[in-house]
Copies of this chain bind each other. A is one copy, B any other.
Amino acid sequence: SASMDSGDELRAKFLEFPYVSGAQRNLMLELVSSVETRLGPSLQPCTLPPDIQHFGNPTGTASASLHLRPGLPSSQIDFTLGGWIHCKLPSGGALNITSLSAYLKPSTDAPHFLIELIRSSPTSLVLILDLTPRKDLIFYQDYLKTYYEDTQLDRHRQRLHMLPEVRAYSSPSLYIRAVVSPTAILVCIDIESGEETKMEEIIRDHVSPIAIEVLQFWIESCAGLERHVGEPEIAYLAERDRIIKNKTIEVDLGSSFPRMFGQEVADRVLGALKEYYNK
């Protein structure tokens, strides 16, 4: 429709984070708001075509919003990508995913930011929260020390694991397991059926404070600090990032999107993102 072509309305659609619980929506809005408040002046408006910013499947059982904002040429930020996906399941339930990632340019080697919340049933939530390393942590021991050891990033993961409802989550994708940092939070939160308020409490009282603190650290110490990276390293970072960006959407969307949205919509969305990543 004509109204859906307006950037403001598409942005409002993205910020609805519909279908998810109040606590999950509040968390996503707070994260997006932190990024926009602190980094907004360095970001362009969303540049995706309207039919990539919001779309659904032909039968109306699946819908999604994507919001990609490129950094200004003068900024260290490559782009931020937020989104939500809703898909009714044949079982009667629904799959709901909300995510926010922020990539930096190869002019800095500081980690990228990533959060993803995957709710596949009322009783189960998968949380992925990480500052994704830009370099091989074995070859570059100082990088491991600077961003992950000296910062004591692991304390957030340890704190969350003290909850009895939290257990380690192993992604089925070996690529995802390999790309995240050793302090990555990859957990599954399971509650008893009928205790949905418990999940709300866990998201509000435990997941949210940690996610907000990690994002604050990323904004101040990763996006906000200038690093002096030499020419050969810029080329290395650019190539490694190219692999990360392409592989992440392949793994994240490539396998599930055709099933959820049909091949035509899936090809259009993945094609638009890949075109942007590789231009």
**Is there contact, CB below 8 Å, between B243 and A138?**
yes
> What 0/1 readout, one digit per residue, does chain A (227-250) give for beta carbons within 8 Å of chain B?
000000000000110011001000
- Grouping DSSP codes into helix (H, G, I), strand (E, B) and loop, the A interface class, with mixed when no group exceeds half, is helix
**Is there contact, CB below 8 Å, between B182 and A177?**
yes
Chain B residue with minimal CB distance to A240?
B139
Copies of this chain, complex-wide, total 2
> In chain A, residues 166-204, which have Cβ atoms closer than 8 Å to a Cβ of chain B?
167-168, 170, 174-175, 177-179, 181-183
Residues in chain A within 8 A of chain B (CB atoms): 135-139, 141, 144, 148-149, 154, 157, 161, 167-168, 170, 174-175, 177-179, 181-183, 239-240, 243-244, 247
Chain B residue with minimal CB distance to A241?
B138
Most buried by B among A149, A177, A181: A177
A-B contact pairs, 27 of them (CB 8 A): A136-B136, A136-B138, A136-B139, A136-B240, A137-B175, A137-B178, A138-B178, A138-B240, A138-B243, A138-B244, A138-B247, A139-B243, A141-B243, A141-B247, A144-B174, A144-B175, A144-B178, A149-B174, A157-B170, A167-B167, A168-B168, A168-B170, A174-B182, A174-B183, A175-B182, A178-B181, A178-B182
